[in-house]
Amino acid sequence: MMEGLLNIIINQESSSLLYNAFAACLFLIAFRMLFKQVSRFYRPSTSPARVRLAQMSSHISSGLTKGPRSEKENDATSTLADIPKSNTFTSKLPPDSQYPTPLESHQAPRQKLGPRMVREALYTYVRPEPTEDPELLAVSRAALRDIGLADSEANSEELKEVVAGNKFYWDEENGGIYPWAQCYGGFQFGQWAGQLGDGRAISLFEATNPKTKVRYELQLKGAGKTPYSRFADGKAVLRSSIREFVVSEYLNAIGIPTTRALSLTLCPKSTVIREQLEPGAIVCRFAESWLRLGTFDLMRSRGDRNLIRKVATYIAEDVFGGWESLPAVLPSDTKDAHPDPARGVPKDELQGKEGAEENRFTRLYREIVRRNAKVVGMWQAYGFMNGVLNTDNTSIFGLSMDYGPFAFMDNFDPTYTPNHDDHMLRYSYRAQPTIIWWNLVRLGESLGELIGSGERVDDEVFVEKGVEEDFAPILIKRAETIIDQIADEYKAVFFSEYRRLMTLRLGLKTQKEGDFEKLFSELLDTLEALELDFNHFFRRLSTVRLEDVSTKENREQTAERFFHHEGVTGLNETNESGRERIGKWLDSWRERIVEDWGTESSTDEDREKAMKAVNPNFVPRGWLLDDIIDRVQNKKERDILQGVMEMSLNPFQDEWNWNEEIEKKYCGDVPRYQRAIQCSCSS
């Protein structure tokens, strides 16, 4: 079995036998380490609450946002034509040798730019396929603001043409910025999938917000074939495009790092073949970086050690803002607390104890790990599931990305997966922390030679020839030790973020050691047993006043607020047992609320306001996304998208005043037989 796994990891086309041997050894180490971590934290118990904590810990073992955002006024004045543009990615990284310049790609017939293998390159110059009679369905105001574009651009002909793929900022006479598609690989469902890449996404340019100075890479998803399309058509269907457009902006609104969506365009003359014929669409999306862990997977599989170093350096210097911006090693006396680490370490400085000396590439790995640990903590706290967390769908920037069969939790069920092809529950809710760490271990394997080299990382012999035989055992041991230490850091950052958000969602001001088991885990056990809605519970808890939980009778009466309209549906549970169980939990919650807020009923209003600011009223669940898709695609309704985007950009509001009936429907109970629906990866 292990030999077979190594054959997946180490591709025979590697140019260096020594590099192959090193990578194989590091894979064995990382694989063993993963299971060692699982066994270290899993401690069976007869208590369901303790079992849940143990499960969560074991899953963890195998950049960053400030919190929920409210819509702000847009004072930007830039147009799409005049906003500062760049192409840092294509200017600093190697292109596809078959079309090494924009001119050579542009002069090639468009059909010649289709699927093939691309080597020793990070991208291919490729132009979008034109769209005939595009219909601009929606533009996100928040996206315009964050890019630095004026609100008026939503109605401009320039934007309409650019986001439909009909215009880009290059011509043969004056040059400019030519579009490109990225090359990367990935592990899909745990198996090596080889070269993948941007099969239907084409980046247009990087835009820098004149005010914030944040740089975003804008790309079109569904804009046509690229060399990375494999057997696909390079198109995207309207159904999946609506889903991605809505969830991208929604996650940003609730404070979860994510790729963004500027616009949604219908391609009325484009019919796409999936399980059936469907209308095509294009999403213009953007991110600080579209690099993925799978970028390194492909380079490692091919033995491109120099390219690994080049891309890692690009990420540190051009994506994260310089080597000095990366996190330092944590002081040993604060190991358990894992505070935000110091930064500002000089590029060439080594840190850490003997045998685990950390160079700058370790600090880069730590940054990527910490970002991903934090975003997973946010997913778990808000019940979000990506559905297909392959390494090619895992961001080096710590962003939620590539929205296929995603979902938000309806009835709380830790085994739920939104992907109907995920028969082994690899991408289920409870497995997400495990899988992201599994993916990050793959990154550790790719960076292992650089991480383990310690002080020799810039030695001429090492840079040019690789690992010398007598140094290999030292390098491997150091890499193993460092990755093991960062595994602990991943776990700690995840728990810290999860605990922070759960504390806020429950209306608490402070964190206490006993909260995790007495409040968090007991609540999750109760929600699971009674089959109650995860996000509805927190929103409805926001309106519970001290008087409502002052006595046992009041608590059990209040408990009914959390029931579905048909009552309790959990196996072997009744409305009576539900009232009793929730009432008991509410008693524990009341004690903590009194500790943090006092006994005065006058604090109820302030607490409700604080809780509503972190517990969304609107959640884009699977059933309502299906309803929106039906209205737009089949009933030709267009206003529904504008209303839903108003709700998505302001999800914490009590009401939006655009359609009272739809607002009530979308924020109310999920229809019983539409809970926990699943999707395919077809898009």
The catalytic residues are: 392
Contacts of 246 (CB under 8 A, 6+ apart): 620, 625, 628, 644, 645, 648
Whether 131 and 249 have beta carbons less than 8 Å apart is answered as no
Residue in 62, 26, 115 with CA at minimum distance from that of residue 305: 26
CA distances, 293 to each of 241, 320, 384 (Å)? 24, 15, 21
Distance CA 681, CA 683 (A): 6
> Alpha helices, DSSP H only, in 62-207?
88-92, 102-107, 141-147, 157-163
φ, ψ for residue 439, nearest 5 deg: -65, -40
**Residue carrying the six token digits 């209306």:** 507
Bridge-based pairing state of the strands 201-208 and 85-86: antiparallel
Residues written for the chain:
683
Quick one: DSSP state of residue 351?
B
Output the six-digit token pair for 259: 């790729």
Are 479 and 452 contacting, i.e. CB atoms less than 8 angstroms apart? yes
Contact 194, 213 (CB under 8 A): no
3-state SS assignment for residue 168 = coil
Torsion angle, CA of 329/334/335/337, rounded to 10 degrees?
Answer: -120
SS3 221: strand
**Cβ atoms 197, 228 nearer than 8 A:** yes
Partnered with residue 201 across adjacent β-strands are 221
* Whole-angstrom distance, CA of residue 23 vs CA of residue 400: 28
Residue 396's region, left for phi above 0, alpha for psi from -120 to 50, else beta, is alpha
Q: How far apart are CA 401 and CA 386, in angstroms?
A: 8
